[in-house]
Amino acid sequence: MKVFLPDGNPLELSEGATGTDAAQAIGAGLARAALGIRQNGELRDLGAPLVPDAPIDIVTPKADDADSLWLVRHDAAHVLATAVMELYPGVRMSSGPPIDDGFYYDFEFPDGVAISDADFERIEQKMREHIKAAEEFTREDISSAEAIERFKADDQPYKVELIEDLGVDTVSLYTNGPFTDLCAGPHAPSTKRIKAFKLTSTAGAYWRGDADRQMLTRIYGTAFHSKEELEEHVRRLEEAKARDHRKLGRELGLFWMSDLSPGAPFWKPAGTVLFNQLTGLVRDENAKRGYEEVRTPILTDVGLWKESGHWDKYRDHMYFADVDDRQMGLKPMNCPGHAQLFKSDRHSYRDLPVRMSEAGLVHRHEASGVLHGLLRVRAFVQDDAHIFCTEDQIEQEVIGCLDQGFTIYEMFGFEPTLELSTRPEERIGTDEMWDRAEGALARALESKGLEYAVNDGDGAFYGPKIDLHMTDSIGRSWQLGTVQVDYSMPERFGLTYIGADNAEHTPVMVHRALLGSFERFIGILTEHYAGEFPLWLAPVQALVLPVADRHNEFAEKVVADLVEAGLRAEVDTRSESVGRKIREGELRKAPYMLIVGDREAESGEVSVRRHREGDLGAMALDGFLERARQEVAERS
C-alpha cells in the first residue's frame, strides 16, 4: 500500500500497515517521538491501520502543535483517573476530556471525601508512578451490552448512562495499567509520553450540566511537552491570578457584585469613571462618523421579539413581566428597537445610510454557573450601532466600522485579528440573501487588504459577521467587536425607503458593536493593564500628598487647581508619613503623585512621582498640567 508524506512524496508500506509502521519506515528517531497520526483531517492512534493512498502526517511533540498537546492532555486525564481510582476506593468516574489549556476529570467521591488543592501532591505522586511505568494505552471495541455489564459490575453508573445514551451497537474502551475507560480516543502509545503535568484546581460540576442532577467534583490539570513549557504556563497562570479583574475590582474599588442581583454589577465611583470615559470615547468617535445617538425602551411587548425572529432563539435567555395583561420582555439586544425607530419615519434613498448608536442596557438570562465577574453577566450595556443602507453601500459601511474599530483599539495597543463567520445551520433568510451578505463582508475585507480566517457555520442566525479578536498582555485571546450584515430583519419588520425610481425598497441592516459591552471591555482592560490604567482612563489621575499637616492647605489648593483644569485629583490629608502615603498611592495605581512640603509650598511647585517610574523631580504646577493634558489628549 502507498501513503503520501506532507511533502507529497509517496511512502510504500505493506498492506494493513499502521502509523507505527510508517514512522519506523521514515526513521527510528521519528518512531520514538511519534504520538499519533493525522489522515484525512482526523487525529488517530499511532497503532491505527492507515488509509491507503491518503496523505499522512506523523504527530510529534511540538509546542505549537495543537494535536500533540491534545494527545498528551488526553493521556494525562486518564492517568489522573487511574490515580484517583487507586487512592479513593469506591470513587465513581464520569468523564475527562482535554480542553484548550489542559484537561479535567469529573468524579463522584464516596461520602465524607472532599478533595482540595491540598490533595494534589498525593494524587500527582501516584500519577508519576503510572507515567514512569510506561503503561501502554490499548484499545478494544466491544458490544455496548458487554460494556454496560462491565461498568455495572464495577459500580460505574455514569459510564452506563453514557453508553445507553449513545444508542450504538459497539463502543471503544481504552486501558492503561489498571484503569479501563469508555473513550473514543485517540491516545499516545503510552503514559511515558507525558513529560510535564500539574494539577491546577478543583470545582463543582453538575452531571451532564444539569443543575437537577448529581454535583460532581471536577479536578483540573494541564500537561506540556517539557518542564520549561509547563513552568511558563504556570507563570502565566500566576500572572493571570494577580491580574484577575474581580480581585483588582475589589482592591481598586471599581465595582461590587451582590446576590441581590446576580450577574449585574453595582458600579462604584471609580468604576463609573471608567464606564463614563469609555462611553465618552465611543460617543466622540461615533459623532465623527455621522452616527445619531438614540435611546430605546428596555421593556417591550413580546410581539416585537416574535416578529424579529429572536423569540425562537432567545426566549429562554429573556426576562418577562406581565403588564396590564400583556406579556412584556426585557430586551436582550437593541436591534429591533432601532428597526422600529427607522420604521417610524419616511426615508428616501438620499437619507441613507442612516446610522443609529445607543449605549443600550440589555438583559440576558445566563446560567448562574457561567457568571464570571464582568466577563459574563446578565445585565450589561452594549456600545451598539445599526446602519440602514442600500445594498450598494454595504461594503463602504463595513469598512467604516472596521476603521473605527482599529482607531479605538489602537488607543489601547490592541492589534485585532479578524474572523469571517458564515451561515449556521439554524438560520432565517434565503440562501441567496446569505450569499450576498457573505460576499459583501468578504469584499470589504479584501478591498482593505485585511487578512482574515473563515469560521464556517458560526454566523448569527440572521446574518454573517466579522468578529475582531485581540490578544492581551499575557497572551489570552478575547473577542471584542463584531460587524454583521442582515437582510432578514428589515424584511421581517417591513422597513422601506423610497428609491430613485420612486418605488419602495428594503434597506440592508448592518449591526455593529466595537467594545462588545462596556462591562466585559472594562474587565478585559483591567486584566490587560493589571489595573494600571492610562492617564486618560484612570479613575484618579493625580494624588496630592502633603508631607505634614501644615502643608494641607497648600495641597488642597493644588487639588482645586487640578480639578479646575479638568483632571481627576484627590488629596490625602491623613496624619501619616509621606512614605506610607506613597506606598498606598502605588497600591492604588494612581498614575501621578504630587508631593508638597515646605519647599513646594514656598516655591509654588510640586514634586512629581510617576507610578512605577519614581521621582520626576520638581516642576511648576502649570508645567505638570501641560504634561498631563497632552498625555490625556493622546489617549495612549
pLDDT at 508: 96
- State what percent of residues in the chain have pLDDT above 90: 85
Average pLDDT, the chain: 94
**pLDDT tens digits along 571-588:** 999 999 999 999 999 999
pLDDT score recorded for residue 408:
95
C-alpha cell at 469: 479578536
Q: What is the pLDDT of residue 636?
A: 66
Q: For the residues 492-504, what does the mean pLDDT come to?
A: 96
Mean pLDDT, residues 207-228 taken together: 92
Q: Determine the average pLDDT of the residues in 203-221.
A: 91
| Residues 77 and 197: beta-carbon distance below 8 Å | no
In terms of phi and psi (left: phi > 0; alpha: psi -120 to 50; beta: otherwise), the region of 411 is: alpha
d(CA 50, CA 36): 12
Q: Which residue has better confidence, 8 or 529? A: 529
Q: Is the pLDDT reported for residue 426 higher than 90?
A: no
Catalytic residues: 335, 364, 382, 384, 386, 465, 511
CA distance 73 to 222: 7
Residue type, 297: P
Whether 442 has a pLDDT exceeding 90, the answer reads: yes
Q: Is the pLDDT of residue 202 over 70?
A: yes
Over the range 593-612, which residues count as b (16 or more CB within 10 Å of their CB) and which as e? bbbbbeebbeeebbbbbebe
Query: What pLDDT is stored for residue 64 in this prediction?
Result: 82
pLDDT of residue 231: 95
* Residue tagged 469584499 (cell numbers): 443
pLDDT of 446 strictly over 80: yes
- pLDDT at res. 226: 95
Neighbours of 411 (CB within 10 A): 15
pLDDT recorded at residue 352: 97
> Rounded CA gap, 444 and 431, in Å?
20
Give residue 475's identity as a one-letter amino acid code: G
pLDDT tens figures, 86-112: 999 999 999 999 998 899 999 999 988
48-57, 308-317, 463-472: the lowest-pLDDT one: 308-317
The pLDDT of 584-599, averaged and rounded, is 95
Nearest to 392 by CA among 511, 512, 508, 510: 508
Q: At what angle do helices 227-243 and 518-528 cross, to 10 degrees?
A: 120
Average of pLDDT values for 308-319? 88
- Judge whether residue 475 has pLDDT over 90: no
Q: How far is CA 269 from CA 126, 359, 372, 404, 533, in A?
A: 51, 19, 21, 29, 15
Half-sphere exposure for 185 (CA within 13 Å, toward CB): 26
Find where cell 466600522 sits.
401
Distance CA 63, CA 231 (A): 13
DSSP structure string for 500-569: TTSSEEPPEEEEEESSS-HHHHHHHHHHHTTT---TTT-SS-EEEEESSGGGHHHHHHHHHHHHHTT--E
Contacts of 263 (CB under 8 A, 6+ apart): 257, 366, 368, 371, 376, 377, 378, 379
pLDDT class for 1, splitting at 50, 70, 90? confident
